[in-house]
Amino acid sequence: MPFRYFYSIVLGLAFFNSSAFGFQKQENPPTAEQAENWTRIIKEKDTPDSVKTQLYLQLINFYESSEEYENMARQAIDFFHYPTFLDSSNWVKKSFLEKALSYRNQIEDSLLLGNLELKIAGAWFNLQEFDSAISHYTRALEHLDENDSLYIADTYFFRGQAEDYQGNMLEAMQDYQIARDIYESQGDEDFANYTKGGMAILFSKYGIYEPAQGIREELVEFYKTREIEGDLGVQLYNMAETYRKMGEETLQLQKLKELEALIPFEPEDFYLEAMTYFSFSRHYGEKNELQSQREYFQKGEEVKDKVPQNWNENGAYLITKGLLEIKSGNLVEGKAIAQRLLDLSASKENMDHRIGALELLEEAYEKSGQTDEALNALRQLTSYKDSIFEANQATSFAYYQTLYETEKKEREILRKNLELEDLQTETRFRIQVFLGVILVLIVGGIIFFLSLNLKNTRKAKKLQEEFSQELLKIQEEERKRISKDLHDGLGQSLLLIKNKVALNQPENAGEMLDTAISELRSIARSLHPMQLEKLGLAQALIHLLDQIDSETDIFVSHEIEPLSKTLDKNVELQLYRIAQESINNILKHSEAKAMRVLLEQRENHIELSIEDNGKGFDFSEKYQDFHSLGLKTLKERTGSIKGTMKVNSEKGKGTKLSFLIYG
Q: What long-range pairs does 15-19 form, CB within 8 A, spacing at least 24?
A: 15/54, 18/51, 18/54
Q: Which of 350, 359, 397 is nearest to 379 (CA)?
A: 359
| Mean pLDDT computed over 410-415 | 51
| Mean pLDDT computed over 167-176 | 85
Are the CB atoms for 55 and 42 separated by under 8 Å?
yes
Q: What is the DSSP letter of 66?
A: T
Beta bridge partners of 558: 597
| Mean pLDDT computed over 199-213 | 86
Q: Which of 474, 661, 464, 462 is nearest to 568 (CA)?
A: 661
- For residue 595, the surrounding DSSP H or E stretch is strand 594-601
For the chain, the distance separating the N- and C-terminal CA atoms, rounded to the nearest angstrom, is 91
> How many CB atoms are located within 10 Å of the residue 546 CB?
12
Are the CB atoms for 529 and 481 separated by under 8 Å?
no
| Mean pLDDT computed over 28-40 | 78
pLDDT band per the 50, 70, 90 thresholds, residue 7: very low
Are the CB atoms for 131 and 168 separated by under 8 Å?
no
Are the CB atoms for 361 and 340 separated by under 8 Å?
no
What is the b/e burial string over 240-256, where b = at least 16 CB atoms within 10 angstroms of the residue's CB? Answer: bbbbbebebeebbbebb
CA distance 93 to 76: 7
- Pairing assessment for the beta strands 555-560 and 605-612 based on DSSP bridges: unpaired
CA distance 573 to 661: 13
Q: What is the pLDDT of residues 558-617, one digit of tens each?
A: 999 887 777 788 888 888 889 888 998 898 888 899 999 999 988 888 899 999 999 888
Q: Which of 448, 446, 428 is nearest to 436 (CA)?
A: 428
Pick the most confident of 20-34, 388-402, 528-542.
Answer: 528-542
Mean pLDDT score across all residues of the chain: 79
> How many CB atoms are located within 10 Å of the residue 662 CB?
11
Helix (H/G/I), strand (E/B), else coil: 62: helix
| Mean pLDDT computed over 192-214 | 87
CA distance 82 to 77: 9
Distance from chain centroid for Cα 328: 44
Between these two residues, 346 and 634, which has the higher pLDDT value?
A: 634
600 φ/ψ angles, rounded to the nearest 5 degrees: -130, 140
**Rounded to 10 degrees, what is the CA torsion of 193, 195, 201, 202?**
-150
Alpha helices in 144-269 (DSSP H): 149-166, 169-185, 189-205, 209-226, 229-246, 249-260
Between the alpha carbon of residue 571 and those of residues 536, 578, 616, 659, the distances in Å are 11, 10, 28, 12
- For residue 531, the surrounding DSSP H or E stretch is helix 530-535
pLDDT score at 503: 64
CA distance 465 to 469: 6
pLDDT score at 277: 94
In this model, does residue 432 exceed pLDDT 50?
A: yes
DSSP calls for 75-116: HHHHHHHS--S-TTHHHHHHHHHHHHHTTGGG---HHHHHHH
In this model, does residue 509 exceed pLDDT 60?
A: no
Q: What is the pLDDT of residues 254-297, one digit of tens each?
A: 999 999 999 988 888 899 999 999 999 999 999 999 999 999 99
In this model, does residue 24 exceed pLDDT 60?
A: no
CA-based angle 320:322:328, to the nearest 5?
A: 100
Between the alpha carbon of residue 618 and those of residues 65, 624, 648, 653, the distances in Å are 113, 10, 9, 11
In this model, does residue 652 exceed pLDDT 80?
A: yes
Beta bridge partners of 658: 609, 646
Instruction: Provide the residue count of the chain.
Output: 663
Alpha helices in 168-208 (DSSP H): 169-185, 189-205
Are the CB atoms for 125 and 158 separated by under 8 Å?
yes
Between these two residues, 205 and 144, which has the higher pLDDT value?
A: 144
pLDDT score at 13: 37
| Mean pLDDT computed over 369-393 | 77
In this model, does residue 332 exceed pLDDT 60?
A: yes
> How many CB atoms are located within 10 Å of the residue 536 CB?
15
Contact partners, residue 561, CB within 8 Å, separation at least 6: 538, 599, 600, 601
In this model, does residue 547 exceed pLDDT 70?
A: yes
pLDDT band per the 50, 70, 90 thresholds, residue 86: low
CA distance 188 to 200: 19
Are the CB atoms for 113 and 143 separated by under 8 Å?
yes
CA atoms within 13 Å, Cβ hemisphere of 564: 7
DSSP calls for 461-528: HHHHHHHHHHHHHHHHHHHHHHHHHIIIIIHHHHHHHHHHHHHH--TTHHHHHHHHHHHHHHHHHHHS
Q: Which amino acid is at 498?
A: K
611 φ/ψ angles, rounded to the nearest 5 degrees: -130, 140
State the maximum Cα–Cα separation within the chain, in Å, rounded to a whole number: 159
Helix (H/G/I), strand (E/B), else coil: 129: coil
Helix (H/G/I), strand (E/B), else coil: 607: strand
Contact partners, residue 379, CB within 8 Å, separation at least 6: none
pLDDT score at 595: 93
In 503-592, DSSP assigns E strands to 555-560
pLDDT band per the 50, 70, 90 thresholds, residue 8: very low
Mean pLDDT check: name the lowest of 22-36, 334-348, 542-556: 22-36
662 φ/ψ angles, rounded to the nearest 5 degrees: -100, 155
How much of the chain exceeds pLDDT 90, in percent?
Answer: 23
Mean pLDDT check: name the lowest of 197-206, 319-328, 628-637: 628-637
197 φ/ψ angles, rounded to the nearest 5 degrees: -60, -40
CA atoms within 13 Å, Cβ hemisphere of 295: 5
CA distance 649 to 210: 75
Are the CB atoms for 73 and 60 separated by under 8 Å?
no
